[in-house]
Structures are given as structure tokens and as C-alpha cells.
Amino acid sequence: MMKAIRSVVAVLAGVMLTTLAIASSNSDDAIRERIKPAGSVCIQGEECAAASGAASASASGPRSGEDVYNSFCGACHGVGVLGAPKKGAAADWAPRLEKGFDSVLANAINGINAMPPKGTCGDCSDEELSEAIKFMSN
């Protein structure tokens, strides 16, 4: 009789230990770790985008002014949204370029009025922005 009770207690203890083990592997942290997404979304203009952009820029070299213009600047500078100087419109660009290319570039980098900083190309280098400006103002 005592032997039977002892073996029942042993089995119960075993079941409890197993339950504890399962419970601890299902702690919130363990679950979070198991179901975490494989990748993370990076929104343009955030620092993570800049980091991945730096990697892709070094892999493929700087983008051309035309590429940057088509991807980032054309939406506004194509038709002159909010008074943006239009692509290829010498009359729009001449008074701006009068103050010197460097200050025009600086305004493109920092943004000016409705012109967003870097023209929304958060991972553009100064050189890429400069090429895009030359492309537009030509």
C-alpha cells in the first residue's frame, strides 16, 4: 500500500515538474521572442532608413541626378507644386541660382518654406542632391 502511494506521488511530482517546465518556456519573453517578425519596417526619413540607404549607396554607388529627381523631386518640381521651381524652367531657377549654387544646395539640404529637407530623400548624400539640382535647373 505505501509503495503504491509513493509511486503515485512520484508520478504526480513528475507531472508537476513537466508543467512547470512548459510554463517557463511560455513566459511572455519566450513567446515574444518566438513570434517576433522576421524583418522590421523602416519608414523613409527615419534613421533606420538612412542606415540601410548608406549600405545600398555604397553597394551600387551614388544615384544619378535623374534617378534622384524621378524618385523624390519630380512630384513637386515637375509641375511646380507650392511654387517649387519647375524642372528645366530657366526663369524659375535663374533668380535662385543667382545667390550661388552652394546656398541653393544648402536650402535643399535643410529645407526652405514648403520645400522639405533633402526634398524627402532622407538618405541622399549632398552629392546626389547636388546632381538632382543640376538635372532640374538645366
Enumerate binding residues for ligand HEC (CB under 6 A): 68, 72-73, 75-77, 81-85, 96, 104, 107-108, 112-116, 119-121, 124, 129, 132-133
To ligand HEC, the closest distance from the beta carbon of 51 in angstroms equals 19
Of all residues in this chain, which one has the CB nearest to ligand HEC in the complex?
119
- Pick the closer one to ligand HEC by CB: 4 or 91: 91
Kindly state the DSSP code that residue 44 receives in the 8-state scheme.
Answer: T
To ligand HEC, the closest distance from the beta carbon of 134 in angstroms equals 9
Burial class (CB in 10 A: 0-12, 13-18, 19+), 68: buried
- Pick the closer one to ligand HEC by CB: 16 or 112: 112
To ligand HEC, the closest distance from the beta carbon of 74 in angstroms equals 8
**Do residues 67 and 135 lie in contact, with contact meaning Cβ atoms separated by under 8 Å?**
no
Kindly state the DSSP code that residue 82 receives in the 8-state scheme.
Answer: G
Burial class (CB in 10 A: 0-12, 13-18, 19+), 22: exposed
